[in-house]
């Protein structure tokens, strides 16, 4: 045995264990407003506790762990803690382009299904999205919405051929697998002349989406429906955001999109960033997506009819093949970020 390699692995394990437990600390800090209070300036533990209505001994231990993990800064001379501008940017603004607590909320919610997923590994059965803890649904929206806010209206839609001009003039849009409606409402608020229908098979998510519609409610409709049977149309634009790989029958969904799409319409497919092979995905982003996929995406797909389980790291080629089999004649990658790939499919 190579002792150096062993200790290297142990070091990796210690870092992972600290990150695993640290996830809980991030979620607690978000829920109690601890990060937001620290963003206002340097505070000692008792001052932070007073500002947030929390118990000082808990806050003291929380701050020490956060400082050890690099999520909070510490000055030994004064005993005070604070956030840098960059830490505050990532930890305190749920509407910003990066919001770390939402990702940890999703992860902790997914891990609550560890017993059910262990059983599924043995039996090969699935576990539906609707069977997960409620933190999964809320965390998913808080995890993905910042990326959509940063890219959807300003970069992804303009990358599609002629779509922004049509949205401004007024068209019909279907957002399939919309969850809590973050993507649907971002588009609706940016393009007030167009009408939008968001659909998802999970009734609880649709209920949450309807509550968030606000001033856009007159131009947005949310319905409980699967990707294989959503109604309406013909649509000029159909979108699927980080949803196609979760489906047990993505080919059936693609065919239904093709049926509901206008002859000159566009299907925008947003999927997790992934390379073309397993080796291409052996990196930090791939690790995150494979882990989520084993707990959420593959079990959900296996719980449905269809026989597919693409997983979150399927890559471009399987999506291209699905589009072609469904009757789309044109397909291209139009945009990408460190976390997403964006495709355009046309009849």
CA–CA distance from 26 to each of 13, 20, 38, 91, 150 (Å)? 20, 10, 13, 8, 22
**192-221 CB burial, b ≥16 within 10 A, e <16:** eebbbbbbbbbeebbebbbebbeebeebbb
Q: Which domain holds residue 13?
A: 3-92
> pLDDT digit string (tens) for 119-146?
999 999 999 999 999 999 999 999 999 9
* Mean pLDDT (whole number) for 284-301: 96
> pLDDT digit string (tens) for 83-117?
999 999 999 999 888 899 999 999 999 999 999 99
69 and 201 within one domain: no
130 and 85 within one domain: no
Which of 41, 64, 92 delimits the end of a domain?
92
% of the chain surpassing 90 pLDDT: 94
List CB contacts of 21: < 8 A, sequence separation 6 or more. none
Asked if residue 98 is part of any domain, the answer here is: no
124 and 12 within one domain: no
Residue 300 pLDDT exceeds 90: yes
Would you call 178 exposed, middle or buried from its count of C-beta atoms within 10 A (0-12, 13-18, 19+)? buried
233 and 288 within one domain: yes
Structure tokens at 145: 């919405």
Asked if residue 26 is part of any domain, the answer here is: yes
233 and 112 within one domain: yes
Q: For the chain, what is the domain count?
A: 2
Structure tokens at 166: 């049509």
Which of 44, 70, 92 delimits the end of a domain?
92
Structure tokens at 62: 């929380």
Asked if residue 267 is part of any domain, the answer here is: yes
Q: Is the pTM of this model over 0.85?
A: yes
Q: Mean pLDDT of all residues in the chain?
A: 96
Residue 232 pLDDT exceeds 90: yes
146 and 294 within one domain: yes
Asked if residue 205 is part of any domain, the answer here is: yes
108 and 15 within one domain: no
167 and 76 within one domain: no
Asked if residue 60 is part of any domain, the answer here is: yes
Pair type for strands 235-241 and 261-272: parallel
Q: Residue 53: count other Cβ atoms within 10 Å of its Cβ.
A: 8
> Which alpha helices (H) appear in the chain, and where do they start and end?
3-31, 34-38, 45-52, 56-69, 85-91, 100-111, 114-123, 134-151, 163-169, 182-190, 203-212, 250-260, 284-292, 298-302, 316-325
Which of 92, 126, 144 delimits the end of a domain?
92
Inter-residue contact 23 to 104 (CB < 8 Å): yes
Q: So what's the pLDDT on residue 1? A: 87
CATH of the domain at 163: 3.40.50.150
Q: What phi and psi, each to the nearest 5 degrees, are found at residue 345?
A: -120, 135
Asked if residue 29 is part of any domain, the answer here is: yes
> pLDDT digit string (tens) for 171-219?
999 999 999 999 999 999 999 999 999 999 999 999 999 999 887 778 9
List CB contacts of 16: < 8 A, sequence separation 6 or more. none
Residue 239 pLDDT exceeds 90: yes
83 and 114 within one domain: no
Asked if residue 140 is part of any domain, the answer here is: yes
Asked if residue 99 is part of any domain, the answer here is: no
130 and 260 within one domain: yes
Residue 308 pLDDT exceeds 90: no
Ramachandran quadrant class, 51 (left: phi over 0; alpha: psi -120 to 50; beta: rest): alpha
- Identify which of 245, 251, 266, 259 has the alpha carbon closest to the alpha carbon of residue 332: 266
121 and 68 within one domain: no
CATH of the domain at 73: 1.10.10.10
218 and 243 within one domain: yes
């Amino acid at each position: 045995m190579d002792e150096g390699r062993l200790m290297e692995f142990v070091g990796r394990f210690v870092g992972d264990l600290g990150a695993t437990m640290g996830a809980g600390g991030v979620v607690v800090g978000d829920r109690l407003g601890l990060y937001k209070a620290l963003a206002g300036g340097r505070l000692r533990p008792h001052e932070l506790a007073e500002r947030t209505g929390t118990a000082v001994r808990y806050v003291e231990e929380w701050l020490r762990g956060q400082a050890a993990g690099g999520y909070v800064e510490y000055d030994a001379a004064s005993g005070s803690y604070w956030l840098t501008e960059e830490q505050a940017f990532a930890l305190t603004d749920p509407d910003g382009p990066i919001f770390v607590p939402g990702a940890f909320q999703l992860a902790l919610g997914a891990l609550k299904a560890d017993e059910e997923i262990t059983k599924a590994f043995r039996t090969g059965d699935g576990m539906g999205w609707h069977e997960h803890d409620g933190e999964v649904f809320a965390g998913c929206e808080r995890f993905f919405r910042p990326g959509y806010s940063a890219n959807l209206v300003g970069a992804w839609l303009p990358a599609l051929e002629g779509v922004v001009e049509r949205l401004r003039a007024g068209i019909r849009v279907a957002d399939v697998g919309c969850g809590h409606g973050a993507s649907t409402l971002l588009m609706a608020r940016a393009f007030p002349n167009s009408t939008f229908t968001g659909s998802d098979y999970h009734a609880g998510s649709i209920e949450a989406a309807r509550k968030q519609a606000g001033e856009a409610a007159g131009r947005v409709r949310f319905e409980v429906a699967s990707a294989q049977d959503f109604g309406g149309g013909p649509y000029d634009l159909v979108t699927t955001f980080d949803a196609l790989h979760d489906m047990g029958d993505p080919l059936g969904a693609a065919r239904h999109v093709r049926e509901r799409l206008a002859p000159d319409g566009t299907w925008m497919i947003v999927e997790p960033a992934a390379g073309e092979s397993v080796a291409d995905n052996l990196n930090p982003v791939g690790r995150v997506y494979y882990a989520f996929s084993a707990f959420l995406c593959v079990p959900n797909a296996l719980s449905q009819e269809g026989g597919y389980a693409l997983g979150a790291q399927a890559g471009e080629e399987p999506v291209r093949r699905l589009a072609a089999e469904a009757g789309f004649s044109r397909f291209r990658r139009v945009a990408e970020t460190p976390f997403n790939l964006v495709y355009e499919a046309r009849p």
